[in-house]
Amino acid sequence: MYQWNLPYRKDDVEAAGGSRPLYPTMLENPELRWGFIRKVYSIIAFQLLATVAVAATVVTVHPIALFFATTSAGLALYIVIVIMPLIVLCPLYYYHQKHPVNYLLLGIFTLALAFVVGLTCAFTNGKVVLESAILTTVVVLSLTLYTFWAAKRGYDFNFLGPFLFGALIVLIVFGIIQIFFPLGRISVMIYGCLASIIFCGYIVYDTDNLIKRYTYDEYIWAAVSLYLDIINLFMSLLTVFRALQR
């Protein structure tokens, strides 16, 4: 019933994985699922490239960071940019199956989050940023390959959902407490380590959903979920390394 939503040629999906089933109990057409996975990762790749481009611009063009750091207008604009991804998430979830509104909202969401990442990196030592980026890349690739390998052998990670959600709530409350009652460098490191572990779990969980549960017209939301996991993992590692540097 979803075949017309997937503009893939047969040779393309065969190149992405062919007719090999991704997990033992797979009942759907493997070619369609492989094509869907390829489309999602293509969107994520464009998101990450846009994030790197915007962040690099913010870091290298010093007047941008200076404006946000030294002016009240810059501070107000920074607050708007920080909350912008949260605001856009609501309509994006509602319209994630409606083309081309979903791509427009996805672009706004990605650019706003990329600007936040860029401003964070602008006030961080370049060595720390590079270490965080390398470690994030290695972890994401390793967990993605592991999840595909585990799914092939019949493992299922759907049970992680409630535990990860509960851990995320604890993390958010911990972060709010840190804002009003700072506990020092050690607590910042603990926060960063906990966040890193949680988002590693989310990468496995969302990748497993990508393989088994997302429908073919949920490609935007699948991409957003994994993109957020990657960015949050990078920011968490950045927090840990910055605390160690101090």
Block means of pLDDT (10 residues each) for the chain, 246 residues, are: 42 50 83 93 96 93 87 88 90 87 93 93 90 96 96 92 93 86 82 94 96 91 96 95 82
Contacts by 195-198, CB closer than 8 A, 24 or more apart? 195/171, 195/232, 195/235, 195/236, 195/239, 196/233, 196/236, 196/237, 196/240, 198/164, 198/167, 198/168, 198/171
Torsion of CA 83, 43, 234, 88, to 10 degrees: 10
**Entry pTM:** 0.88
3-state secondary structure of 246: coil
Read off the amino acid at residue 214: Y
Retrieve residue 61's tokens. Answer: 């063009």
